[in-house]
A and B are shown apart, each in its own frame.
Chain A
Amino acid sequence: MQHIMTKNDYRKYVDKVSPNSKTVRNTLRAFVVGGFICMIGQFFMNSFKQMGLDQEVTSSLTSIVMIFLGVSLTALNLYDDLGKFAGAGSIVPITGFANAVASPAIEYKSEGYVLGIGARMFLIAGPVLVYGISMSIIAGIFRYLLKH
């Protein structure tokens, strides 16, 4: 414990402590909201599996439903509010990817249907696809070379 003598000491003390406690708070929020979104995903996965669908169809349908939810909440202006609270908890799940596509698409509508909506929806999704796809191709080539 630190003795706080003056206003100045107090300010120093707050400065020293608050960045950390803020990170702890943000991380906790990200954990809870991110974990909860994944539980919703688990619910849909289990439901589709129970309908007798195979693994591949189940995971594709789960992605579609979660993305539909993410886009819908974005269109209703609710996902931004969730993001202010949850930070990475709303960015990292696939609903956050859906938000990253829908949000600029809606926002840049005024720039037109082609260069506004059509182009801007890939503002963040574009880099994700570029790096994700490229790395999966490299991984596939390595797999091929190691087998031959």
Chain B
Amino acid sequence: MRETVMQYLNAFAIGGLICSAGQVLIDKTKLTPARILVLFVSMGVVLTALGVYQGIVDVGGAGATIPLTGFGYSLAKGAFRDVDKYGLLGAFTGGIRATAAGVAAAVFFSYLAAVAFKPRAKS
């Protein structure tokens, strides 16, 4: 019970911190949201490759995997795992293999939503 409460608090704290970092960047540097997302995914890949991000995931759980840095974490972790399994080919298969569910879901659900819903009327 106590462990679960700590897990949720950690997810809140770590996830909140990562999002705050994004907000500070938006306010202080005028980076557009698209650039923030690219930056965060890249940061996730680099920090995972350097062995730093796994520690953040171990503490933060979903707080570290749900932000876009977590997407980078999955990409890098997948690439590493497949390189260990299949050699150099794994560098090309691992990232997409590990993130396939999320990317496929985003494309498919968005397509369905676009077909089913009308754009918001410009006000």
Contacts and interface: CB of A to CB of B under 8 A. Distances in A.
A133 B95 contact: yes
Chain A contact residues, majority secondary structure = helix
B110 A94 contact: no
A75 B111 CA distance: 11
Nearest to B48: A139
Contacts of B62: 38-39, 41-42, 44-45, 62
Contacts, number: 288
A105 B28 CA distance: 30
Nearest to B95: A136
B97 to A, nearest CB: 10
Interface residues of B, number: 82
Contacts of B37: 91-92, 96-97, 100, 124, 127-128
Contacts of A74: 113
B91 interface: yes
Contacts of A59: 65, 74
B1 interface: no
A110 B101 contact: no
A139 to B, nearest CB: 4
Interface in B59-75: 60-63, 65-72, 74-75
Contact of A135 (B15, B75, B103, B111): B75
B111 A105 contact: yes
Interface string B95-123: 11001111101110111011111111000
Interface of B: 4, 7-8, 11-28, 33-34, 36-38, 40-42, 44-46, 48-49, 60-63, 65-72, 74-76, 78-80, 82-84, 87-88, 90-92, 94-96, 99-103, 105-107, 109-111, 113-120
Interface of A: 22-23, 26-39, 41-46, 59-64, 66-68, 71-72, 74-75, 77, 80, 87-89, 91-98, 100-102, 105-107, 109-110, 113, 117-118, 121, 123-125, 127-129, 131-133, 135-144, 147
Given A41-B65, A75-B116, 10 more contacts: A23-B28, A37-B66, A38-B62, A88-B36, A98-B109, A128-B68, A133-B96, A138-B91, A139-B79, A141-B91
